Structure 1
Amino acid sequence: MKHLILLTILLLPNVLFGQSLSNLYKKVSPSVVVIEAKEKVENTDGKVSYMGSQGSGVLISDQGEILTAAHVVNNAENITVIFHDGQKFPAKVVRLATVTDVALIKLVYYDKNYPVAELGDSDVADVGDDIFIIGAPFGLEYSLSKGIISGKSVEKTRMEGFTFAEFFQTDAAINHGNSGGPMFNMKGEVIGLVSYIVSESGGFDGIGFAATINVTKQLVVDSDKRRWTGINGVLVDQELARLLNVPQPGGILIQSVVALSPAYMADLIGGNVPFYKDDQKISIGGDIILAVNDIPIVSEDNIIAFFKSILIKDEEALNSFKLKILRGGKVMEVILRFPENR
């Protein structure tokens, strides 16, 4: 009899935890969405095809605003958001920060019938805390995985300690399709967005990362100072600059431009000729950005100087950027304008 009582006491916390997690899942899962993104791909022969991908996201306002991972939507020409009841809505990118892999998208129209997730405080979360993740790994929609916060990494720029990347490490299972999905604490609050995994097998090896919600809010929710351009580009180093006859030791080589984006409206051109450098495939033949608002893009210091300059400018000054570009061996200027209704 004593052994039976002891066994019951030992098992009771696990039973209660299971019920708590089950109840939390039922409460918060309706705010989680599946995101389908279609990217236009132009082949070397001029033929155009569309490549589809799937990710996850979470509804954060009754205005139809959704947080997801930047890499899910950055190059998407068409974005479709699917709720738990199967309802589908088109969406557009509002703001995006690739360095932290977070994005804010907004439904084109919305009937406000779905619960909004509560955003927590990731600063108070600590290593060892229990968390759970909801997403669509391998297309298995609204899958639940649980684990702990295994670590926390913070990266800062040199401009007055400005944090531009902060991630939770976790052992909760993360796979393709989980990207952009919410990480919840045991109060049912969102404290992170799933970003990427570190793997030798190609699958989940127990090490995944999620961008913290506080930095996400700072970069794409609470700030109007970060814009989505529709540009997919790579930094040009000195060696690549020499190979491409760039008249300065750096720049941004445009790989592709999303249709109907600000970059598209500015007639910027992406590359369509495959080129291999250090086993990395890039596309050349597109525009190369040499300067933004007269700040040359030649080094990390210059890029930081540009971001620091836009952080202190007023709202009106952020409605457009002046770009100096290299196209077909000629240097020219274009204006990149952003819509007012962001």
Structure 2
Amino acid sequence: MSRALFGRVATAVAALVAAAVVVLPGSASVPSAAESTTVQTAAQRQPETALSSAAAPQKYVALGSSYAAGPGGLDSIGNRCLRTMDNYPHQVAQAMNMSLVDATCSGATTENILDRPQRFVKQPQIDAVTPGTALVTITTGGNDIGYVQRLIAMGCKNSVADPVKNIAERVCGHGRPISPEPGFERYAAVEQKMIETVFAVRMRAPAARIVLVDYPPVVVAGGPICPKLALTPEEIESTIRVYDALAQVTAEAAQISGAELVTTGPLGAEHTVCSPDPWLRGFELPVPYHPNASGKAGVARLIVDALRR
């Protein structure tokens, strides 16, 4: 997103915030076991902080889409949201000695977090947040603008390359249309929804630390490329533009709403798909262009480091 376009997004969102109708807290019931995962960690030997002490574990709620849910791991919880036991919420909860309610769900948009449940769950994710919640992490926005969907569609189009042909047969079906790059309106809308999400969390849990966590990059300008990336040079440039714009609106949403921000981009740039130690899969099974075990652990470390500062 250009500086001029990003400035228009920030101006538009700031105006919307002034008149925003924040989602009011209803019955703050925690989703059922079929919809979320609750994990209470054992006490850990670590420096005492506001979020880690010898007292009973505090409540941590994780909200977000597949980059938080962590599909494709070996420790699948066995739910339709494709959450895994090694996703970053579980690792953060373990490190911080917190009781986790994992409401993340693959495919979720900001609307699914705020007010419109996905078809196979009963409640929006926000309902997991209750007054006693001490920490909330949020990773969202990618599905609103079709970020990974575009990547997979481009990988499918380029699937004639031998290294990815078998993968394409399993994930592409009869082909996927490639959507155009998102425009100003879509970026402004997703930024506004992120801000509303933070406000809704704060209404339900006024004392909670609220942390927006952005997406690690698949590819960066001047970075390594390889067959498993499965993108043309033009598609690489487009992917970088969309990624950069999403990271920018996430940062702006954090600034406007007062949430904390954990940005994965600087360190993630050293762990792109074609790097020696990638944090994400390329056009590969089981879930293309999503965090692998190394990526989940890397993002968790960034969050824990931020919480302990």
TM-score, normalised relative to structure 2: 0.28
Higher strand share: 1
TM-score, normalised relative to structure 1: 0.26
Higher helix share: 2
Computing the radius of gyration from Cα coordinates, the structure with the larger value is 1
Higher relative contact order (CA 8 A, sep 6+): 2
